[in-house]
């Protein structure tokens, strides 16, 4: 336990050091805010992982979340069952019919909760806590809290009236928060990846994914304030935008369903293209370069990889980061591969890989699986830079230039935030 805590503090220290080195204004860093944000994460991790009644509460929420997700199955069975046998055949049960429908359903459910004003109340409560504890502006508190429940292009709707007058640091906080967290729809899909058909495993990973979403909110603030410290006067007011998802209940369902379908199609298309490109790249690397140079034999004899591949390269490239976070040396290459896939490709592809690795019993330590769950729980990848510039820029066209300048910083901030969360959880797991 003591060794895990020391490794965790080492990881946190390294991440803070990276943020300090990359900071646009090191002298302006608000160190009390940084320490408060890290302390908030530590307290939350202890509560969820070590305090029984809090852990039980999160487990109850996880069970409820998994139960809600399970209702998707009824819709899938109705839509995709065989006309011959009147049931879903093995050939039909696939990623497309088990995972993607959860995205559509949860998007519609989120739209309903937003229309009814329930989601905004949860967001406001979390925002109020962070504003009081970390002395944040009203806008960035709302944005950080909104990202717990919503995606990186939906959460900015909560602060739309503020966007044109938000400071540079506030915009950075908004963007980093979007990079450091994930949307509810894809959260449901990740539970399916990691939990499979086992209800107990689904509840376990639902708990960790929900915990990651909450913990990464203050972590994103810490990362943002390290990289782009606040130097301007900011607005203390805090009110949730009245923007809604429809003029009535049925329109809210319709709009949420349509948005979810677009997201599901986008996810499926991205996975198809990225998988095909990976296989193309690996053909060039392994069947071409690796075969001609003899690297394939060298790699297969000394590592767990069959030869020169994209996975081999990024696994070893990102392994040092995994080591500094406290991942066991037995698993650092696997975790490094996952971090590389998430950053270069996207977290969806990386979660698919994590699910495959878990099913194949490739990890030597369960802790590595849990920490990987937290590492991947965010939209921090290169494609998200374009998504944020386009999505947030559409709400505030005058800030597109600033959004473009902060894109890479936001990617770094989101990555640091996810690594913060994983390091802290690793201390107590």
Tens-digit pLDDT profile for residues 298-356 = 999 888 888 999 999 999 999 999 999 899 999 999 999 999 999 988 888 899 899 98
Q: How many CA atoms lie within 13 A of 408 on its CB side?
A: 4
Question: Do 244 and 115 contact (CB within 8 A), yes or no?
Answer: yes
Closest by CA position to 144, among listed 169, 126, 162: 126
Q: Which residues contact 145 (CB under 8 A, 6 or more apart)?
A: 123, 124, 125, 126, 127, 130, 217
Both structure tokens of 133: 């504890």
pLDDT above 90 for 31? yes
pLDDT of 197 above 80: no
Tokens encoding 323: 């080591």
- Percent of the residues in the chain that have a pLDDT greater than 90, as a whole number: 37
For the segment 118-144, the average pLDDT, to the nearest whole number, is 84
Predicted TM-score of the model (pTM):
0.85
Mean pLDDT (the chain) is 85
| Higher per-residue confidence, 17 vs 349 | 17
* 416 or 267, higher pLDDT: 416
Q: What is the pLDDT of residue 317?
A: 94
| Segment holding 211, helix H or strand E | helix 199-227
Strand runs (DSSP E) across 240-345, as ranges?
none
Rounded CA gap, 149 and 55, in Å?
A: 20
* DSSP of 328-361: -TTTHHHHHHHHHHHHHT-HHHHHHHHHHHHHTT
C-alpha 31 chain-centroid distance: 26
- 400-428 helix and 2-22 helix, angle to the nearest 10 degrees: 170
Confidence label for 121 from pLDDT (cuts 50, 70 and 90): confident
pLDDT of residue 252: 82
Residue ranges covered by each domain of the chain: 29-271
**Whole-number pLDDT of residue 96:** 58
> Alpha-carbon distance 299 to 305, whole Å?
7
> Is residue 92 over pLDDT 90?
no
Sequence-separated (6 or more) residues with CB below 8 Å from residue 218: 37, 40, 41, 130, 134, 144
Burial class (CB in 10 A: 0-12, 13-18, 19+), 346: buried
Question: Is 337 in contact with 301 (CB distance < 8 Å)?
Answer: no
The sign one gets for the Cα dihedral 211, 9, 427, 422 is positive
| Whether pLDDT at 79 is above 60 | no
Work out the average pLDDT over 124-133: 85
Better-scored residue on pLDDT, 371 or 96: 371
């Amino acid at each position: 336990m003591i060794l895990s805590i020391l490794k965790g503090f080492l990881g946190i220290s390294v991440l803070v050091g990276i943020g300090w080195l990359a900071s646009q204004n090191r002298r302006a860093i608000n160190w009390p805010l940084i320490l408060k944000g890290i302390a908030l994460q530590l307290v939350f991790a202890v509560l969820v992982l070590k305090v029984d009644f809090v852990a039980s509460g999160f487990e109850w929420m996880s069970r409820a979340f998994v139960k809600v997700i399970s209702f998707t199955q009824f819709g899938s069975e109705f839509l995709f069952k065989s006309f011959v046998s009147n049931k879903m055949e093995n050939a039909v049960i696939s990623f497309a019919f088990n995972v993607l429908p959860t995205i559509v359903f949860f998007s519609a459910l989120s739209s309903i909760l937003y229309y009814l004003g329930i989601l905004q109340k949860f967001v406001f409560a979390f925002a109020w806590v962070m504003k009081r504890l970390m002395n944040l502006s009203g806008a960035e508190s709302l944005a950080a809290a909104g990202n717990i429940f919503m995606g990186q292009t939906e959460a900015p709707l909560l602060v739309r009236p503020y966007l044109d007058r938000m400071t540079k640091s506030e915009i950075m906080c908004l963007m980093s928060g979007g990079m450091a967290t994930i949307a509810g729809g894809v959260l449901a899909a990740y539970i399916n990846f990691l939990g499979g058909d086992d209800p107990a495993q689904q509840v376990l990973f639902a708990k960790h994914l929900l915990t990651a979403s909450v913990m990464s909110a203050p972590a994103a603030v810490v990362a943002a304030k390290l990289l782009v410290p606040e130097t301007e006067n900011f607005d203390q007011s805090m009110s949730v935008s009245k923007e809604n998802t429809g003029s009535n209940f049925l329109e809210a369902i319709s709009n949420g369903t349509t948005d979810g379908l677009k997201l599901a199609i986008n996810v499926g298309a991205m996975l198809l293209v990225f998988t095909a490109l990976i296989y193309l790249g690996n053909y060039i690397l392994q069947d071409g370069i690796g075969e001609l140079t003899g690297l394939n034999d060298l790699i297969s004899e000394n590592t767990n990889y069959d030869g020169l591949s994209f996975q081999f390269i990024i696994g070893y490239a990102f392994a040092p980061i995994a080591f500094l976070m406290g991942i066991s040396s037995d698993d650092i290459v696997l975790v490094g591969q996952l971090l590389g896939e998430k950053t270069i490709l996207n977290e969806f592809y990386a979660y698919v890989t994590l699910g495959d690795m878990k099913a194949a019993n490739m990890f030597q330590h369960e802790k590595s699986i849990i920490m990987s769950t937290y590492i991947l729980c965010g939209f921090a990848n290169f494609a998200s830079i374009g998504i944020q510039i386009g999505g947030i820029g559409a709400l505030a066209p005058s800030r597109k230039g600033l959004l473009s300048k902060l894109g890479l910083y936001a990617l770094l901030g989101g990555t640091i935030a996810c690594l913060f969360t994983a390091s802290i959880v690793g201390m107590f797991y």
